[in-house]
Structure 1
Amino acid sequence: MFPTYDVIVVGAGHAGNEAAAAAANLGSKTLLITMNMQVIGQMSCNPAMGGVAKGQIVREIDAMGGLSGIVTDESMIQFRMLNRSKGPAMWSPRSQNDRMLFAQKWRLALEKIQNLDFWQDMVVGLIIKDKRVVGVKTSMGHEINARAVVITSGTFLNGIIHIGEKQFGGGRAGERAATGITEQLVELGFEAGRMKTGTPPRVDGRTLDYSKMTEQPGDEPPGKFSFMDTTPLTKQKSCWITYTNPKVHEVLATGFDKSPMFTGRIKGLGPRYCPSIEDKINRFAERERHQIFVEPEGWETVEIYVNGFSTSLPEDVQYKALRLIPGFENAKMFRPGYAIEYDFFPPTQLKSTLETKLIENLFFAGQINGTTGYEEAACQGLIAGINAHLKVHDLPPFTLKRSEAYIGVLIDDLINKGTEEPYRMFTSRAEYRLLLRQDNADWRLTEKAYKLGLASEERYRRFMDKKEKIEQGIRLIKEAQVNPEEINGYLESIGSATIKEKIRVERLLKRPDLNIYQLIERIPHLETLRRYNQEVCEEIEIMIKYEDYIEREEKMAQKMMALEDYRIPSNFNYDLVKALSAEGREKLKRLRPETLGQASRISGVSPSDVSILMVYLGK
């Protein structure tokens, strides 16, 4: 009934979809297995994509030829560029999305991929021969053969949903948990753990009083995620902000004795940076209020996502507390918030390709690796799908360095440091934030993806055209000069220092109080730039304004590159290196880093350990 596939992807969430799309688009015969074809690409939690550092990841996925950026643009109801008041390294795109449209667009995009087949079933086990995966077993009794398998199980592995004192098996509200895989992997020698995440209640938007809230409109004009020609929004839906208060906190506290988190029924660790409302009022007792974001779930639906009110308290406590929030006095609840516990596998058990160290051709991506967030999952899926394809076709692996992408930072953090709580990406995790801006993701990654065969000819052509315009624009500004009589009147009008002699336009653009549009409008030599779009002009400005800082980061990255390129044999015997510290030796033996760069970032491996290793390997 089934052919032998090159790649089987287990799970059709954000990680699974990107993995399946990447493997199939690269030419592998791919099968995507999901327990329910109706919820492919479902946004399990908030109806939004991007945000701080996460938006950069979506842009990177898009630059590589992944689909998350395009799907996001096609289902967007609002766009905002966060942190505009800060430097460009911090600018982070974020969108609100139509939940139903997002899933629909994902499924239709996947169905257009020729090499991709679908099967609705639960995978209950793997077929392993000689420490190599060769297929999967399903609950319907099928054995499907494959040369590589990517597991993207999300929160479904032995998932348990908690609402107050109630608990029941499930991977998501209304959907059953997946069983069998964890038990087999543990038997094979894998280490497993438990994590927790939560989601807030959903309410009927018709029952809210928005006059008591603060409106949060989208940007005008709205931006987008994809570097391709997706259609920008012509209208947007607003979000709203309100706050909890001491009365809300008092009611929530009445349910603490039934909270699965406080009574110890939940063993898994939850995300530190997205705590439940009960956790917030318990940990920050001195605060009288917490911010609540009121987010529409789509263009037509009345359902509202109550961001900031994640909870697993009993339904009646949730309901009473909700109705004490300004604007929620008459709120009707569609469904309660809940917490979910699920199995994960500490990611130190993975190579940088996301292939497991124990079983060849078996890859993990997404929440199974201890991460949280759609964007973190999607980028892992992309890398796992690429490398599954490359592995079965005997091609060199593909990885990204920390200086090349937030994706590289995320995977490097996971495989070297591991995580004991759900890992979320932040700009502060990256050493080279100015190099890893959201605006230059295509500059960093599209050519790499094109050489791989993942970025299309059209995408590459668009990028090369943009690159040429940017380079022309930079040359033009560096060569152009301006006389005092041409610009001093304007400089005086905005309170900027006047010039006394003819100077290069580049020097003016480096001033913090001047932007490229002000100069294009007033300096005839720059007239050519008027034909360039906003994306190109912004990148020209950033590259000139921050040139010195960018060069400094590039030099730092090049210094580290020497360690990254210094490979350690996979069978290297650390016991032969007597001068290593005891802790360093133990960590190196357990984690088996692939390069000296990776070794240098392992907690417990000292700089002297790295130097000793370098000398020993040099011999």
Structure 2
Amino acid sequence: MFPIYDVIVVGAGHAGCEAAHAAASMGSKVLLCTMNMNTIAQMSCNPAMGGVAKGQIVREIDALGGLSGIISDKSMIQFRMLNKSKGPAMWSPRSQNDRMRFAEEWRLALEQTPNVDFWQEMISGILVKNGRVTGVRTAIGIEINAKSVVLTNGTFLNGIIHIGEKQFGGGRTGESAAKGITEQLVSLGFEAGRMKTGTPPRVDGRSLNYSKMEEQLGDEIPEKFSYLDTTSPLTTQKSCWITYTNREVHQSLETGFDRSPMFNGRIKGLGPRYCPSIEDKINRFAERERHQIFVEPEGWNTVEIYVNGFSTSLPEEVQYKALRLIPGFENAKMFRPGYAIEYDFFPPTQLKDTLETKLLENLYFAGQINGTTGYEEAASQGLVAGINASLKVQEKDPFVLKRSEAYIGVLVDDLINKGTEEPYRMFTSRAEFRLLLRQDNADLRLTQLGHDMGLASNERLEKMLNKKSLTAKLINDLKQKKLNPESINPELEKLGTAPIQEKISIEKLLKRPHIGMKELSLFDEDLKTYLIKYPKEVQEQAEIQIKYDSYIDKEQQLVAKLSNMENYQIPSQFDFLAITALSNEGKQKLNKIRPQTLGQASRISGVSPADLSILTVYLGR
């Protein structure tokens, strides 16, 4: 009935979709297994992609040849570039999306991807022989053979949904939990844990009074995620809205705290620190008079509203009463209550840097099964796992991104070396080289790598090389072109920056904080005409490279200094326990995580600088 697949992907959320697409695009025969074909790539939480650090990840996925950026662009209803008042390392693209169109576009894209087959059924276990995975077993007992398996089970592994004192099995509202896989993996020697996440109530947008809220518009000139021209930027956008809780709301919510699964011990799993429930916010920040609520439309034509900032697992009648005390929500009609969900995960220190498990060969984990939270984090792991599963089947070298190459590299490195005891979320602060890892240059960093693997298309590569060439030419021209004091000093004074005494190159002028490409166009009509020849992204790239040249150079020097440790391999069978000079904690952590390089060893919590020096000596350095 079934052929022997190269890659079977279990789960069709954000991680599973990227894994299936990547492996298939690289020539592998792929089977994507899902419990429900109608919920492929469903946005289980808020209808948005990107944000701080997450937007950089979406751009990186796109640059490598993944689909999250393109799908986001096709289903976008609003675009904002966050943190524009800060430096370019902090600029982060974010889109509001049409939930139904997002899922539809993903399904259509996968159906149009050669080499992808589908199977709709719960997967209850994996097939194992001689220390390696050989396929999967379905709930009705069908065995499907494969050379590798990628598990992207999301919140479905033994998922339990909590609403007040009610609890029932489920991986998402209205969908069954997945059973069998956790128990089998634990019996094979894997360590498992429990985590918790939550979602807010959904309400009828027709019942809200927007005049009591602050309107949040999209950017005046909206951009896109993808570097390809598969879609055009938005010409019309839907607004989001902001309102706030108050003391009355908090007091109303507190009446249900004795029935909250968060506080009465029924939920054992740890929830996300940076996206807490409303009851957790009130409890932890009791001194605050109010908390921000983002009112987010679910799509172009639906009236459903996502109440971002009001995640809760309190009894539904408590949720409803408190909601109606929020300004603008006085007559709110609820579509469904918020809930918390508890699920199994596997500490990611059990993985290699390819996301292959250390215990079983050819088995890969990606997404929330690794203890992460967020669509973008999941999608990037799916991409990495799908790529590596395909490469291994093809007997090619693995694909591993360094911390200095991508936020995706930071994410994977953090997970496999530091692990996580709470849902892991990406932030710009986690990346030590964030000036190098900007959202604007993901294509320059990664598209060649994606193309070399057979994932990024020729079109992508040509577009990137053209951008790179034009940027270099523009920078060189700006170094050569000079402006006279008499022609530009009046404009400089208007901008509040010091006049010049002699001819100065445009490049030097551009290094000034108040001057960008936009201001340069005011100085000279010929210069304005010259700059118009270059696309906006090329002008932006040239400006950033010129303005932050010295800072970028310092980061690149630091990367070069650290590269020796990153490149020095530790033998796979190295006996850490035999080194008596190591600290007990250092021995235990090194033996458990088994880092593959000295660089990885240096980032393991509990491995001291002294331990690292001793290890270096023993490795013959």
How many Å separate the matches in 1 of 2:226 and 2:201?
31
Paired position in structure 1 for 2:162: 162
The question of 1:406 aligning with 2:389 is answered no
How far residue 607 of structure 1 moved from its aligned partner, in angstroms, is 1.5
2:89 aligned counterpart, secondary structure: coil
Match of 1:545 among 523, 544, 547: 547
* 1: CA distance, partners of 2:355 / 2:565: 21
DSSP-derived class of the 1:5 partner: coil
**2: CA distance, partners of 1:442 / 1:545:** 20
Superposed displacement of residue 288, structure 1: 0.9
> Residues of 1 paired with 2:584 and 2:294: CA distance?
50
TM superposition shift of 1:574: 1.6
Partner of residue 478, structure 1: 479
For 1:20, the equivalent position in structure 2 comes to: 20
Aligned to 1:301: 302
Find out whether 1:56 has 2:56 as its counterpart: yes
Q: Is the contact made by 1:62 and 1:68 (CA closer than 8 Å) also made in structure 2?
A: yes
Residue 266 (structure 1) aligns with: 267
AA in 2 matched with 1:613 = L
Kindly provide the amino acid, as one letter, of the partner of residue 539 in structure 1.
Answer: Q
Q: CA distance change for structure 1 residues 522 and 121 in 2, over 3 Å: closer, same or farther?
A: same
3-state DSSP class of the match of 1:539? helix
Structure 1 CA distance, aligned partners of 2:513 and 2:321? 50
Deviation at 1:526, TM superposition (A): 6.7
Match of 2:530 among 528, 531, 548: 528
Look up the match of 1:378: 379
Q: Compute the displacement of 1:617 (Å).
A: 1.2
Q: Are positions 1:239 and 2:240 aligned together?
A: yes
Match of 1:347 in 2: 348
Q: What letter matches 1:236 in structure 2? A: Q
- Superimposed CA distance per residue, residues 390-423 of structure 1 (whole angstroms, 9 cap, x where no aligned partner): 1111110000000000000000000000000000
1:507-562 superposed Cα distances (whole Å, 9 cap, x missing partner) = 11000011112214424357432111211111110000000000001111111111
- Corresponding residue for 1:124? 124
Asked if the contact 1:70/1:226 (under 8 Å) is kept, the reply is yes
Could you tell which deviates more after superposition, 570-579 or 521-530? 521-530
3-state DSSP of counterpart to 2:146: strand
DSSP-derived class of the 2:397 partner:
coil
Question: C-alpha separation between the residues in 1 aligned to 2:31 and 2:106?
Answer: 16
Contact (CA 8 Å) 1:293, 1:306: kept in 2 or not?
yes
**2:618 alignment partner, one of 612, 616, 619:** 616
Aligned to 2:453: 452
Indicate the residue corresponding to 1:592 in structure 2.
594
Deviation at 1:578, TM superposition (A): 2.8
Ranges in structure 1 where 5+ consecutive residues have no aligned partner: none
Task: Look up the match of 1:579.
Answer: 581
1:416 is matched with which residue? 417
Which residue of the partner structure matches residue 338 of structure 2?
337
- Specify the code of the residue in structure 1 equivalent to 2:116: L
- Which moved further from structure 2: 104-113 or 515-524? 515-524
Which shows bigger deviation, 170-179 or 603-612?
603-612
| 1:395 match | 396
Distance across 1 between alignment mates of 2:563 and 2:116:
37
Contact preservation (8 Å) 2:348, 2:415 = yes
The whole-number CA distance in structure 2 between the counterparts of 1:550 and 1:202 is: 45
Q: Is the 8 A contact 1:477 1:526 kept in 2?
A: no
Is 1:90 aligned with 2:78?
no
- Of 575, 585, 606, which aligns to 1:604? 606
Secondary structure at 1:453 match in 2? coil
Within 2, Cα distance between the matches of 1:12 and 1:118? 10
Matches within 5 A, 1:307-318: 307-318=308-319
Structure-2 residue corresponding to 1:217: 217
Q: 2:376 and 2:510 mapped to 1: Cα distance?
A: 34
In the alignment, is the contact (CA less than 8 A) between 1:161 and 1:340 conserved in 2?
A: yes
CA distance in 2, matches of 1:527, 1:567: 53
Distance 2:406 2:450 in 1: 13
Structure 1 SS opposite 2:568: coil
Q: Is the 8 A contact 2:152 2:369 kept in 1?
A: yes
Kept in 1: contact 2:312–2:338 (CA 8 A) = yes
Indicate the residue corresponding to 1:491 in structure 2.
492
Quick one: which amino acid aligns to residue 305 of structure 1?
Y
**Separation in 2, partners of 1:585, 1:302:** 57
Indicate yes or no: 2:578 matched with 1:570.
no
In structure 1, the residue matched to 2:202 is 202
SS at match of 2:124: strand
Distance in 1 between residues matched to 2:71 and 2:126, nearest whole Å = 31
Partner secondary structure for residue 439 of structure 2: coil
Describe the SS at the equivalent of 1:439. Answer: helix
Q: Which runs of 4+ in 1 moved over 4 A?
A: none
**Alignment correspondent of 2:39:** 39
| Structure 1 Cα separation of the partners of residues 614 and 527 of structure 2 | 57
* d(CA) in 2 for partners of 1:558, 1:607: 20
Q: Distance in 2 between matches of 1:495 and 1:339?
A: 53
Q: Which residue of 1 aligns with 2:563?
A: 561
Residue aligned with 1:618, SS: coil
Q: Is the Cα contact below 8 Å between 1:480 and 1:525 reproduced in 2? A: no
> Which residue number in structure 2 is paired with residue 228 of structure 1?
228
Moved more, 62-71 or 462-471: 462-471
In 1, Cα distance between the equivalents of 2:381 and 2:64?
Answer: 13
The amino acid that maps onto 1:132 is R
Q: d(CA) in 1 for partners of 2:301 and 2:565? A: 53
Q: Which moved more, 1:479-488 or 1:362-371?
A: 479-488
Counterpart Cα distance in 1 of 2:60 and 2:367: 16
Match of 2:502 in 1: 501
Q: CA RMSD in A?
A: 0.9
Task: State the one-letter code of the partner of 2:550.
Answer: D
Report the Cα offset of residue 576 of structure 1: 3.4
Q: Is the 8 A contact 1:150 1:385 kept in 2?
A: yes
Structure 1 residues 360-369 or 598-607, which shifts more? 598-607
SS in 2 for 1:334: strand
Any gaps of 5 or more consecutive residues in structure 2? none
Q: Separation in 2 of the partners of 1:574 and 1:90?
A: 40
**What does the per-residue CA deviation read over 1:462-485, in whole Å, with 9 as the maximum and x for residues that have no partner?**
111111111111111122211112
Contact 1:403/1:557, CA 8 A, preserved across alignment: yes
Does the 8 A contact of 2:577 with 2:588 survive in 1?
A: no
Are 1:476 and 1:526, in contact at CA under 8 Å, matched by a contact in 2?
A: no
Structure 1 residues 525 and 247: alpha-carbon distance in aligned structure 2, compared to 1, 3 A threshold: closer
How far has the Cα of 1:585 moved from its partner?
Answer: 1.3
Identity of aligned residues (%): 73
Equivalent residue pairs, number: 619
Task: Report how far residue 609 of structure 1 moved.
Answer: 1.6
Bigger shift: 361-370 or 450-459?
450-459
Q: Render the CA deviation track for 1:25-81: whole Å, top value 9, x for unaligned.
A: 000000000000001010000000000000000000000000000000000000000
Q: Secondary structure at the match of 2:469?
A: helix
SS in 1 for 2:137: strand
Asked if the contact 1:276–1:310 (Cα under 8 Å) also holds between the matched residues in 2, the reply is yes
The 8 Å contact of residues 298 and 306 in structure 2, kept in 1 or not, is answered as yes
Residue 487 (structure 1) shift: 1.0
- For the 8 Å contact 1:584–1:606, the answer to whether it is kept is yes
Q: Is the 8 A contact 2:124 2:181 kept in 1?
A: yes
Given that 2:491 and 2:522 are in contact with CA atoms closer than 8 Å, whether structure 1 keeps it comes out as: no
1:556 alignment partner AA: L
Secondary structure of 1:89's aligned partner = helix
Question: Residue type of the partner of 2:544?
Answer: I
SS at match of 1:517: helix
Amino acid at match of 1:65: G
**Residues 281-340 of structure 1, C-alpha deviation per residue, up to 9 Å, x if partnerless?**
011111110000000000000000000000000000000000000000000000000000
Q: What is the DSSP-based 3-state SS (H/G/I as helix, E as strand, rest coil) of the residue aligned with 2:155?
A: coil
Deviation of the 1:359 alpha carbon: 0.2
How far apart are the structure 1 equivalents of 2:470 and 2:483?
22
Distance, in Å, in 2 between the alignment partners of 1:528 and 1:497 is: 25
Greater shift in the superposed pair: 579-588 or 150-159: 579-588
